[in-house]
Structure 1
Amino acid sequence: MSLPCIARARRFEPGAHRPFFMASEQVGWIREQDVPLLAAWPDVFEIGAAAVKLSARFDENADRRSAALAAVIGALAAQGRIVGWRDETYAVRNAFDGAPLAYIERAASRFFGTMTYAVHLNGIVKYADRAPQLWIARRSETKATDLGMLDNVVAGGIAWGLSIKETIVKECWEEAGIEATLAARAEPGRTVHVLQSLPEGTQAEQVFVYDLPLPDDFAPRNQDGEVGEHRLARIDEVARWIEDGEMTVDASLATLDCMLRHRWIDEEAAAGIDTLFVAPLIER
């Protein structure tokens, strides 16, 4: 079976983008249609036929790069070119443990195609007398992206300054009312690498997948208004939602990873997913 989420996770055309560099390192991808917008800041960007570079005059440190980018990002947001402002800082870095080259508003990460990081938790309820089930969330209609779609019980981007574990605790409480002591039981799965074109730009993201065993008497309770509802569903129901494209790409891949590791589905049901557990071959 060929699932649409697996193909979409690598639906990206390098030829429709220009690599984005800072400090001699490629850190992102900018769509050809967006490159002319940056010409308004000739003192910030060096625009060439093959690439866009942040001017070397800002190479002194990450703070200088950040300040230069902040002025551009604010102007692009005012023009409606960058949407979904979060007031959340992301670090520009090609490895999660790498030193940040700059700091940008989260909403700008897809415009510049910079690498982002996220955690997704599969909320698993196991029973003594029947098959396990999964808690699934429906994203609020007011979310900046993928509004109204089905999602994992907990999922969120990792902001600068937070570790994976700290993000898990934070997101568990905000999205599902899961206390820190219970969130600490999260068990690591695999890491999914996504590189896909979206209406707002490029999603280049590493998704750290975790499983969280939940008591059978626990019911998620959203705290931050970002989840419309929660459902406790059978494995076959969730598999059908993935097949029908009702779940987000990220959540679909995180859930498939869980199902494969627990052998709830056959490998043939998720043919091609193994390629997503390694970084794309496109040079970063």
Structure 2
Amino acid sequence: MPSLSPPPVDKPSDATTAQTTEAETKPHAQPDSDEPINSLDPQPIDESKPKSNLDLVNECDSFPYFQSTPQLYLNHVSTYYHLRVAAYPEITLGYVLPSVAEVLRGLEEWELDDDERTLTLKAGDDEPTRSAILARTTAAMREIGHFSILKGWRNELYPVYGPAPARDLLFSIERAASALFGIVTYGIHMTAYTKSESGELKIWTPRRSKTKSTYPGMLDNTVAGGMATGENPQICCVREASEEASLPEDLVREKAHSAGTVTYFHIRDSRAGGETRLLQPECQYIFDLEVPSDVEPKPSDDEVEEFYLMGVDELKEKLKAGEFKPNCAVVLLDFFIRHGVLNAQNEPDFIEIVSRLHRKLDFPTA
């Protein structure tokens, strides 16, 4: 097992950065301004006043855009190390905080280049070998106990893919460690709803357990969960629906239909548990399930306190109050858009919201 030691506390870096929007290019060109780096520590939007729908999107899709805030984007990108593998030396797979990268300095299988701001897995010619190295590395990181996010170790593996067109599986990584390496993760979110004869729409909405380490007590989508290496979205949806909501497998398999994806680039704040500022680009596969009136989701583990059947007006008030987990809020907004609840007539930021729910991520995806 690699011998690791805790790194020094992160400080904002004045390292150089890229001049383009693509993470795949070299991340070491000098920014065109001496503007100081803005605070990179994310904060939830002010809870004392109602949140707009755009506020909710900003809170989830919180990584800056080059097109709208180029200097802030460059300040962010220049702070991180770009995760790469030797097989694709010019392709960035994720952004890594300096405090995380420093842990790997001097390890035989890793190369840390401070000038280029890259962290490269230089060993391993195939997926099994790379995955074994990541397993040893993350287990050692857990053993030193420096990163509190690893207290939530799940023994679940998340996939990391190479660039198109091959999109080959490069390696798998422990779920709890994924945000430390800033890689794209995948999950499913399903909205189970009912419609009355008059057309009234109601959605089954769970409240997360107050003892959960991540976003305790917040509202969630009916079913949501991470997609492990080797799973496809449909299989994951059926599994999570059974595990989290006690929904019949045959019902979900036959009636849940795919409704696209929601993508965003999140910077973790204190509510996520563990270290803040970790980078979390995500792709959620979205499913809708209209359920009969006699089907009621029920908690089947200790992650959910209770399910509520909420109407549209009540859900809108909960969104304004900031009661939803950030990524679940944007999935609900996506549902509202697709079902005509939210439209250009009643939402002044409609175009921006729609586009922001489908962000093009900086890294290779499945």
Give the alignment's TM-score, normalised by structure 2: 0.72
Cα deviation for residue 273 of structure 1 reads 1.9
1:66 counterpart residue number: 131
Task: Give CA-to-partner distance per residue, 1:236-272, whole Å, 9 cap, x none.
Answer: 1111212222101211111111111111122426632
Residue 123 of structure 2: SS of its match in structure 1? Answer: helix
Of structures 1 and 2, the one scoring higher in RCO (CA 8 A, sep 6+) is: 1
The secondary structure found in structure 1 opposite 2:336 is: helix
Q: Is the 8 A contact 1:178 1:220 kept in 2?
A: yes
Q: 2:96 aligns with which of 18, 27, 30?
A: 30
Q: CA deviation at 1:158?
A: 0.5
SS of residue paired to 1:26: coil
Q: Do 1:20 and 1:51's aligned partners in 2 also have CA atoms closer than 8 Å? A: no
Contact 1:114 1:204 in 2 (8 A): yes
* Ranges of 4+ aligned residues in structure 1 off by more than 3 Å: 94-98, 277-284
Moved more, 89-98 or 137-146: 89-98
Q: Secondary structure at the match of 1:152?
A: coil
SS in 2 for 1:223: coil
Partner residue, 2:291:
214
From 58, 64, 75, the equivalent of 1:7 is 58
RMSD of aligned C-alpha atoms?
2.1
Q: Cα 1:55–1:89, aligned 2, differ >3 Å: closer, same or farther?
A: closer
More strand by share: 1
Q: Helix, strand or coil: the match of 1:3?
A: helix
Answer whether contact 1:191 1:207 (CA < 8 A) is retained. Answer: yes
How many residues in Structure 1 have an aligned counterpart in Structure 2?
282
User: Aligned letter for 2:155?
Assistant: D
Note if contact 1:3-1:243 (Cα within 8 Å) is conserved in structure 2: no
Structure of larger gyration radius: 2
Aligned to 1:106: 175
2:80 is equivalent to residue 17 of structure 1: yes
For residues 171 and 269 of structure 1, what CA distance do their matches in structure 2 show? 35
Q: Which residue of 2 aligns with 1:47?
A: 112
Structure 2 Cα separation of the partners of residues 190 and 270 of structure 1:
21
Q: Which moved more, 1:203-212 or 1:192-201?
A: 192-201
Q: Which string of whole-angstrom CA distances, capped at 9 and with x for unpartnered residues, describes residues 217-240 of structure 1? A: 221112122211111111111112
Matched-pair contact (CA < 8 Å) for 1:193–1:205: yes
Q: Does 1:256 align with 2:333?
A: yes
Q: Equivalent residue of 1:101, what SS?
A: strand
Matches within 5 A, 1:124-273: 124-129=193-198, 131-184=200-253, 185-199=255-269, 200=275, 201-267=278-344, 268=347, 271=350, 272-273=352-353
Name the CA shift for 1:102/1:7 in 2 (closer, same or farther; >3 Å): same
Tell me by how many angstroms 1:44 deviates: 2.3
Q: 1:121·1:211 contact (CA, 8 Å) conserved in 2?
A: yes
Q: Give 1:202 deviation, angstroms.
A: 1.4
C-alpha change, 1:135 and 1:242, in structure 2 (3 Å) is same
1:37-88 CA distance string (max 9 Å, x none)? 222x421221112333334232x11122112221221121221414211111
Gaps of 5+ in 1: none
- Alpha-carbon offset, residue 16 of structure 1: 3.0
Change (3 A) 1:115 1:95: farther
In 2, the alpha carbon distance for the partners of 1:11 and 1:278 equals 13
Where do 5+ consecutive residues of structure 2 fail to align? 1-51, 64-75, 270-274
Secondary structure in 1 matching 2:169: coil
Partner-residue secondary structure (3-state), 1:43 = coil
C-alpha distance after superposition, 1:139-170 (max 9, x if no partner): 12343422221000100110112111100110
Q: Could you tell me how far apart the structure 1 residues matched to 2:79 and 2:171 are?
A: 25
> Hey, what does 2:48 align to over in structure 1?
none
Which of 121, 125, 139 is the aligned partner of 2:190?
A: 121
Distance 1:234 1:278, change over 3 A: closer
The structure-2 alpha-carbon separation of the partners of 1:46 and 1:273, relative to structure 1 and needing over 3 Å to count, comes to same
Residues 188 and 80 (structure 1 numbering): CA distance in 2 closer, same or farther, change over 3 Å? same
Partner of 2:158: 90
- 1:144–1:62 Cα change, 3 Å: farther
